[in-house]
Chains A and B, each alone.
Chain A
Amino acid sequence: MFLKVESHKIRNFNNLFKQLRISCAREHSTNSDIPTVTTEFAPRKLLFESKYLKPRQVWLESLDTIDERKLGILELHPTVFGANPRIDIIHQNVRWQTLYRYVSFAHTKLRFEVRGGGKKPWPQKGLGRARHGSIRSPLFKGGGVVHGPRSPTPHFFMLPFYTRLHGLTSTLSVKFAQDDLHIVDSLELPSDEPQYITELVKSRLWGPSVLFVDCSDIMPRNITAATDSIKHFNLMPYYGLNVYSMLKHDTLVLTRAALDIIEEKILNNFHRHDPSFLKKFKVNQV
């Protein structure tokens, strides 16, 4: 598809970039016009550039049409998208995510909780039987359990900060390495039919399940309406990005603005020099 570039709509590269950022703060427009995108786009400026690591490159795509349309090449920071794919760290993160909120309601009764067993069953001496004090002792059938589960048992724990951070970078690197990461200019769709988005995903051979990540929690109307009924297409703001969701969904689609924020936050956390934030996590002092 060929876009006619109207001269009065050609803007400065910086303004275009700023427009993309500001649009996330405002409510998205309800009309479903195909946004006019210039054939040229602003290249990304990487924070904390490394002299020794090469930046990764990814296509900038669009959701305007069902067929793939590449708008250009963007650079990704190697620390975030070219990190060591630590499977064990990913596993630890997934385990943490599932376990920290888990409360076990399994319960067994102790010997004093089991009904009965207050009386000495038979005299101490004379019967030739073993000596016992109560029929509900753990030795007896039907007696109390000594070290059994006691409900409710929380399994809350906090994974160390940098393990969680490396979990995110490992997963993003894995997604990028396995061609499951796509960068999109924005989540504006031309139509709000679920048909449109399913055909789009199918034609581009994106995985059965797709996670769309944007920079704000208020998403464009069309995509919200389209994905509402489809359970395997999910929308997420940037702050909801987590290892479990990224692995659960086959494909990860980030908007350019979301990519900027995610990279900025991850890199800032890697380059912090004050360890005051590493104090022991206390639930009542969040």
Chain B
Amino acid sequence: MSGSKEKALNLLRYLPRISLTNIRDNPGAKMARKRGRAQHGGDKHGDGNKGSGQRQNFMRLGYETGNNPFYLRFPKEPYYKGHHLKRQYPPLSLLELQKLVDLNRIDPTKPVDLVAIINSGMYKMSVDQHHFGVNLTDEGFEIFEAKINLEVQWASEPVIAAIEKAGGVVTTAYYDPHSLQAIVNTKKFFERGIPIPRRMMPPADAIEFYSSAANRGYLADPEEISKERFALAQKYGYLLKRIEDDPDYEMLIQRKDPRQIFFGLNPGWIVNLKDKVILKPTDEELLEYYAS
């Protein structure tokens, strides 16, 4: 690789000076446009003779000249029933997360939430495609060893076990689409000049998931969660150390309020990036609303 570079640069020392008159593209870079003329490509220009093809009056897609077409022969099946209501969670594997931590794209000394994962630049999601956050998958379950305070949107049992085995902590939290829009493009959201909204509660079909300690839901009872941590350690066969004895206890215990979107920013505040100022509401009614 570097050998050819050095050779090329050394060659240049004995070749004429490179100027505007002796440069060219690589051979084969430009293909000459072929006009359709005469026998090859010409005459009827690929349309055939008469008929709907040459007269550009085609039959509709899937039509089979009157007989029952392929796409109508089979019975209906509710494959896509409720597709517009289902939430999607683009996956992020434990392997990928480990890579991000190792390559300094995610700082494990601070709590890692959806904001941090998106800011690393290696995870993409779009709110208008019904994406609701990170689904942590168990690929890389064996090699995961980063100790982090992680907040994702969906995690299965082996994934939770992998993270807790490494000494970390995992929470599953729900973000509604408005909050997600603020997270995915934070700069654009702040430029809108509207107050940071309150995070909405999960919908009816999700509230059970986020209230259960087995899923480390953010609405679950912390005592139940510690019981589940112990049970999971027994199930997967690893030693669970006391979190209070951990030197990073202060960092690992940090959690967001269920109504909070960003760490360090409360709902109701307006962040002014231009003047580098945060505006907070003073009216009692507003304060009551944002604190509820």
**Contacting residues of chain B (1-48) with chain A, CB-CB under 8 angstroms:** 2, 4-5, 8-10, 12-13, 15, 17-20, 23-26, 29
A107 within 8 Å of B (CB atoms): no
Q: Which residues of A are found within 8 Å of B2, using beta-carbon distances? A: 52-53
State the CA gap A52–B5 with chains docked (Å): 14
State the CA gap A173–B6 with chains docked (Å): 11
**Contacting residues of chain A (46-61) with chain B, CB-CB under 8 angstroms:** 52-53
Q: Which residues of A are found within 8 Å of B23, using beta-carbon distances? A: 87, 90-91, 94, 247
**Contacting residues of chain A (158-211) with chain B, CB-CB under 8 angstroms:** 173-174, 177-180, 207
Q: List 17 A-B contacts (CB under 8 A).
A: A82-B5, A82-B9, A84-B4, A84-B5, A85-B8, A90-B18, A91-B23, A92-B25, A94-B23, A177-B10, A177-B13, A178-B17, A178-B18, A180-B17, A244-B20, A250-B19, A273-B105
State the CA gap A182–B15 with chains docked (Å): 19
State the CA gap A85–B22 with chains docked (Å): 14
B121 within 8 Å of A (CB atoms): yes
- Contacts A88-B29, A180-B17, A247-B20 known; list 17 others, CB within 8 Å: A82-B5, A84-B5, A85-B12, A87-B18, A87-B23, A88-B24, A90-B18, A91-B25, A174-B18, A177-B12, A177-B13, A178-B13, A178-B15, A179-B13, A247-B18, A247-B19, A275-B121
State the CA gap A274–B26 with chains docked (Å): 31
Whether B9 and A173, one on each chain, are in contact in the complex, defined by CB atoms closer than 8 angstroms, is yes
Residue of B nearest to A88 (CB): B26
Whether A87 and B24, one on each chain, are in contact in the complex, defined by CB atoms closer than 8 angstroms, is yes
B186 to chain A, nearest CB (A): 12
State the CA gap A94–B25 with chains docked (Å): 11
The residues of B with any CB-CB pair to A shorter than 8 Å are 2, 4-5, 8-10, 12-13, 15, 17-20, 23-26, 29, 105, 121
State the CA gap A91–B10 with chains docked (Å): 20
A39 to chain B, nearest CB (A): 30
A83 to chain B, nearest CB (A): 7
The size class of the interface chain A forms with chain B is 20 to 34
State the CA gap A180–B16 with chains docked (Å): 12
B117 to chain A, nearest CB (A): 14
Residue of B nearest to A248 (CB): B20
State the CA gap A177–B4 with chains docked (Å): 14
State the CA gap A145–B2 with chains docked (Å): 54
Q: Which residues of A are found within 8 Å of B17, using beta-carbon distances? A: 178, 180, 207, 250
**Contacting residues of chain A (206-262) with chain B, CB-CB under 8 angstroms:** 207, 244, 247-248, 250
